[in-house]
Amino acid sequence: MANELNSGYKMPVIGLGVWRMEGKSIRDLLLTAINIGYRHFDCAADYKNEAEVGEALAEAIQTGLVKREDLFITTKLWNSDHGHVLEACKDSLKKLKLDYLDLYLVHFPVATRHTGVGTTDSALDENGVLDIDTTISLETTWHAMEDLVSAGLVRSIGISNYDIFLTRDCLAYSKIKPAVNQIETHPYFQRDCLVKFCQKHGICVTAHTPIGGGTANIEWFSSVSCLDDPVIKDLAKKYKKTEAKIILRWGIQRNTVVIPKSSKAERLNENFQVFDFEILEEDMNKIKGIDRKQRTNQPAKFWGIDLYA
């Protein structure tokens, strides 16, 4: 099951996010995921594991487990490389052992002090605040992204963590429209206006943190998971599915792409089994009613500045 992007390419509606996957476990997890049926993998330079992901993908392709053309690989431009888009893309391609990317995203709508291609540092100033580079506009960055498409290095380009205003601006100055806006959205942070705005203008929404972040965000940001919400639990009983499956299916039925993350093989399989049932409209409305407008991913903890304020 896939969504057709405005670039003409198809993007599987469920993918695997590789954030916080580390070391040798990456190979086993990715090969297991491919065997389960995953074809969409969401990476980023900032995750600092592109090389390990690349090794696993190369093995899968070389052994005939999967063909390159059947994979959909996303990675992202880090904030410190906005002035070095071509070099950053080539660095990611080299690490991922790929000739082209299916999708390349601007990870955050902010340029920061350059610290060397691929280092993905978040340099802080003398006050411990993110050192934002005010000489590079998002428009300049976007036109460099467009050049990657012209060069054949990237099939589709998109944005990530952009609000309605920034998305509107990107639509206005772009020659190649963003194919995707990857944002945090889940039952406790539904962002219906942003989702509908993007979809109205032909931008596919990808939901990162689609089940509310789980253990990682609870540990880092003290967030509350919607997995424990009584409405979700009641629907899980009604449909005889796990709470995670209910949430992921809800996301898919909103016409968003979901990219859950898991480091456990059994969870990988569970999360992928979301195509054998459909949530009734009345139950979709119940989930709509539990929105708390609660963001769980809070980079301000590391940057000393709240970019969402």
| 107 annotated among ligand-binding-site residues | yes
Distance of alpha carbon 253 from alpha carbon 14, whole angstroms: 12
Q: What is the DSSP letter of 203?
A: P
Angle at 174 between CA 158 and CA 209, to 5 degrees: 20
CA–CA dist 10, 69 (Å, integer): 11
> 26 in helix, strand or coil?
helix
Beta-bridge mates of residue 112? 132
Q: Which two tokens stand for residue 217?
A: 């965000």
Please name which of 167, 205, 173, 166 lies closest in space to residue 186, comparing C-alpha atoms: 205
Q: Is 9 a catalytic residue?
A: no
Task: State the chain's maximal CA–CA distance in angstroms.
Answer: 55
Listing DSSP states for 119-149 in one string gives T----B-TTSSB-B-TTS-HHHHHHHHHHHH
Question: Of 38, 47, 162, 188, which is the active-site residue?
Answer: 47
Report the distance separating Cα 227 and Cα 225, nearest Å.
5
3-state DSSP assignment of residue 156: strand
Task: Tell me the catalytic residues.
Answer: 47
Please report, in range form, the residues annotated as the binding site for substrate.
107
